[in-house]
Amino acid sequence: MNAKTLKSLGYLVVLIVLAVLAQRFGGDGSGQRAGAPETATVEAGFDFYVLSLSWSPSYCEIEGADADKAQCDSGRPYAFVVHGLWPQFESGFPRDCPSTQGEPDRALVDAMLDIMPAPGLVRHEWRAHGTCSGHSPEDYFAETRAAFAKIAIPAEFRRLERWTSVKPGELERAFAAANPGLGLDAMAPVCGKRFLSEMRICLTKSLDFRACAEIDRNACRLDKAVMPPVRGG
């Protein structure tokens, strides 16, 4: 075997190694693990859940004309709503996992609209995150509802009548006070632009509160953020 052939084989080996690494860690340079395989289960496919609660008025302000009209123009007084229940690794997260479960049917989508106020959101969350849970659509959204039911929204943030400036740490402390056992290292307020847009809460697979270092590190760092008032109703 001559030197030119050996060199070509060397290049081939490098390309194969790079392809394997890209499949394992994702090709976007983020270092996050790729989506869980189709055979993933609740027990083995991921480490914990993140329940993301969206402050609906902030979503509507941030997205403007691009916001989902079912959520923002319905006249319903949406406050904190479920953005999603996300399977999570200790570092990174799976997404868009292969699944043979099919899509949630219309009845299931409609049944979720009291806590996830747009049909498009329900379907998107199934495709992006529910497929990585190891559950059927029915069981995944039952788990989502159970996670949401576990959280007590602090009384002062159940409805805002006026534009409010709030320190992200104040929101965290309010959630901790309203939910015994929920530590400050188990949640993270999230900001979009100048708005306080979400509260992300970490839960075990059995829906107990648990610390989550990576989520906590990515909390909003603004000194103060704005929470718009609830719309309608």
Active site residue 125: yes
Task: Give the phi and the psi of residue 126 in degrees, each rounded to 5.
Answer: -65, -50
Q: Catalytic residue among 83, 135, 143, 172, which?
A: 83
What tokens were used for 68? Answer: 């989902």
Residue 19 and residue 15: Cα distance in Å, rounded? 6
Residue 147 and residue 155: Cα distance in Å, rounded? 19
Q: Catalytic residue among 43, 90, 124, 129, which?
A: 129
Task: Give the phi and the psi of residue 90 in degrees, each rounded to 5.
Answer: -60, -30
List, as own/partner pairs, every contact residues 151-158 make where C-beta atoms lie below 8 angstroms and the sequence separation is at least 24, other chains included: 151/51, 151/53, 151/175, 151/179, 151/201, 152/178, 152/179, 153/53, 153/79, 153/80, 153/178, 154/178, 157/79, 157/80, 157/227, 158/79, 158/80
What tokens were used for 74? Answer: 């319905």
Q: Catalytic residue among 61, 90, 124, 125, which?
A: 125
Q: Residue 223 gets which letter from DSSP?
A: S
Catalytic residues: 83, 125, 129
